[in-house]
């Protein structure tokens, strides 16, 4: 029961309880807590706030503010570039809301955590099957952090300090990579691309690969959506110089394309957000990290790994965290990473999603995405003064659209599209100035034929009106 006046939900707000608290810590007034703050920064009078609202009034006020937002539920959205609109089955949300999974608890005690440990083990197993790799951890923060960790891991394994990456890479992903590599004195060099196809320039790659190269990194599909055609040659060049081959993937493409494990990848990273996780306002996301079965590589792997073992009594199957001495259990500065439970719930969501779809479902998903994206490209390419795609390569779910011939900026096009009730693509004109006024568009399984045709007709009107 509260003493005196105070907020009904904040017991400490009553005068009597405040007095007891101050007496306990040895002060006579609240102001003594702020003695270290310079006088000129202290508020001398009460804030000029309006009178308090009731719960119902607050709800109406907040709803009025939220109604000003334009959300992805209100209009077709063709924006991807690292966080993509995909459908999440209702069963995924229902399952991950169970109390066994919806917890911040780290499963250090396997005897009472078999449920979550098995779910994470199943996630790892499905990621290994999808990527054709041998070992996967149970999550990273996102694709960018997975790439940063892969670069440092490659440097530790090879004892070299140079990473080669494509020129066509997400700028924020590259910025994160540099945040990881700079303190470790690892240099990052870019590999040029073919201006007609976007494909990695193999001659430039060969000239820059040396005995200093720790790893060669590629993305397949690339940041701009096209499929890299020379993956076997790129991997061969990396291995020829004793470097590791790191591949970044969109897992939704692996239902129809050759997995990186089949063309020589040593480490695979990527973004699992499309596998059962909503866009979440840009996060949390879910980084994929997998590698081949080489103990020298596995022991340098970041993140948690769940393993299958047998119980002491009875010889039954059991799950537990393995190779824990790689992490914070040893000295922090010696740990392979300081990532803890991080995206465990997102990993469970992905496990549920992959289990629901199964191999045939993932194949159908990939086929649907690719068909719809290329249908959009076909229609857009017929608009006069619009070039789609910019590169003559096979595209998966993202593609570039150029407006130079129309004399329009991507910014203006997107503003006009928004006025028509459509969210356009990502403006990459500053990221890749050599491509001019170009936008990156995304089409997935959620985009209907009508959505795509609405986009095409709207862009045609914008181009014709100038």
pTM of this prediction? 0.87
Give the per-residue pLDDT at 328: 59
Q: What is the CATH number of the domain that holds 421?
A: 3.90.1150.10
306/411 same-domain check: no
Give all strands of the β-sheet with 162-166 in edge-to-edge order: 135-136, 287-291, 267-271, 244-249, 213-219, 162-166, 187-191
The predicted pLDDT at position 304 comes to 87
Does residue 41 share a domain with residue 179?
Answer: no
In the prediction, which pLDDT does 52 show?
A: 86
Query: Domain for residue 246, yes or no?
Result: yes
* Among 336, 354, 372, residue at a domain's last position: 354
The last residue of a domain, from among 325, 354, 383: 354
Could you tell me if 39 and 164 lie in one domain?
Answer: no
Residues 336 and 393 in one domain: no
In order along the chain (466 residues), what is the average pLDDT of each group of 10 residues?
63 86 91 91 88 93 92 91 96 93 77 88 98 95 96 97 98 97 97 97 97 98 97 97 98 98 98 96 93 92 89 84 71 68 88 97 98 98 96 97 97 96 97 97 98 97 89
Instruction: Please state, as a whole number, how many other Cβ atoms lie within 10 Å of the Cβ of residue 99.
Output: 6
Q: What pLDDT is stored for residue 313 in this prediction?
A: 79
Q: What is the CATH number of the domain that holds 123?
A: 3.40.640.10
- Residues 348 and 371 both lie in one domain: no
CB 246 within 8 A of CB 215: yes
Give the pLDDT score at 225. 97
Does 1 map to a domain? no
348/372 same-domain check: no
The answer to whether position 77 is within a domain reads no
Note whether 367 and 349 are same-domain residues: no
Domain that holds residue 265: 90-354
Tell whether 321 and 388 lie within a shared domain: no
| Residue 328 belongs to some domain of the structure | yes
In this structure, are 251 and 374 located in the same domain? no
Across-strand partners of 244?
215
**What pLDDT sits at residue 7?**
77
pLDDT value of residue 283: 85
Residues 117 and 205 placed together within one structural domain of the fold: yes
| Residue 237 sits in the same domain as residue 198 | yes
Number of domains comprising the chain: 3
- Has residue 370 been placed in a domain? yes
pLDDT, residue 335, reads 72
Residue 78 within any structural domain of the chain: no
Residue 3: inside a domain: no
Structural domain ending residue among the three candidates 295, 319, 354: 354
Please check whether residues 308 and 449 belong to one and the same domain.
no
């Amino acid at each position: 029961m509260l003493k005196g006046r105070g907020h009904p939900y904040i017991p400490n707000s009553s005068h009597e309880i405040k007095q007891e608290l101050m007496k306990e810590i040895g002060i006579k007034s609240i102001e003594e807590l702020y003695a270290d703050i310079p006088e000129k920064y202290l508020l001398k009078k009460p804030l000029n706030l309006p009178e308090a609202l009731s719960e119902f009034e607050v709800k109406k006020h907040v709803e009025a503010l939220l109604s000003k937002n334009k959300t992805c539920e209100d209009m077709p959205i063709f924006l991807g570039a690292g966080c993509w609109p995909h459908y999440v089955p209702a069963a995924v949300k229902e399952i991950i809301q169970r109390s066994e999974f919806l917890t911040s608890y780290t499963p250090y005690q396997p005897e009472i955590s078999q449920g979550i440990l098995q779910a994470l083990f199943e996630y790892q197993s499905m990621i290994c099957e999808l990527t054709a790799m041998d070992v996967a951890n149970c999550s990273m923060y996102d694709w960018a952090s997975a790439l940063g960790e892969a670069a440092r891991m490659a440097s530790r394994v090879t004892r070299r300090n140079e990473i080669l990456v494509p020129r066509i890479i997400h700028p924020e992903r590259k910025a994160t990579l540099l945040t990881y590599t700079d303190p470790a004195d690892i240099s990052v060099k870019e590999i040029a691309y073919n201006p007609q196809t976007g494909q990695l320039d193999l001659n430039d790659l060969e000239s820059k690969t040396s005995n200093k190269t720790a790893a060669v990194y590629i993305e397949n599909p690339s940041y701009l959506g096209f499929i890299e055609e020379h993956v076997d040659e790129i991997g061969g060049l990396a291995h020829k110089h004793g470097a590791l081959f790191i591949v970044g993937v969109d897992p939704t493409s692996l239902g129809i394309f050759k997995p990186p494990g089949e063309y020589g990848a040593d480490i695979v990273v990527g973004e699992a957000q499309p596998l059962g996780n909503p866009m979440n306002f840009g996060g949390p996301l879910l980084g994929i990290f997998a590698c081949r079965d080489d103990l020298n590589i596995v022991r340098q792997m970041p993140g948690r790994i769940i393993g299958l073992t047998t119980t002491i009594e009875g010889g039954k199957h059991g799950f537990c965290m393995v190779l824990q001495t790689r992490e914070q259990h040893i000295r922090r500065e010696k740990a392979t990473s300081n990532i803890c439970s991080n995206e465990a719930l997102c990993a469970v969501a992905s496990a549920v999603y992959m289990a629901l779809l199964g191999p045939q479902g993932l194949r159908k998903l990939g086929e649907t995405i690719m068909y719809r994206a290329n249908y959009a490209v076909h229609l857009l390419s017929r608009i006069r003064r619009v070039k789609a795609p910019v590169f003559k390569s096979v595209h998966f779910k993202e593609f570039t659209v150029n407006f130079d011939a129309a004399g329009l900026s991507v910014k203006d096009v997107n503003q006009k599209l928004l006025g028509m009730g459509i969210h356009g693509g990502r403006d990459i004109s500053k990221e890749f100035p050599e491509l001019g006024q170009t936008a990156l568009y995304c089409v997935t399984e959620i985009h209907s034929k009508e959505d795509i045709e609405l986009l095409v007709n709207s862009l045609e009107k914008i181009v014709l009106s100038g």
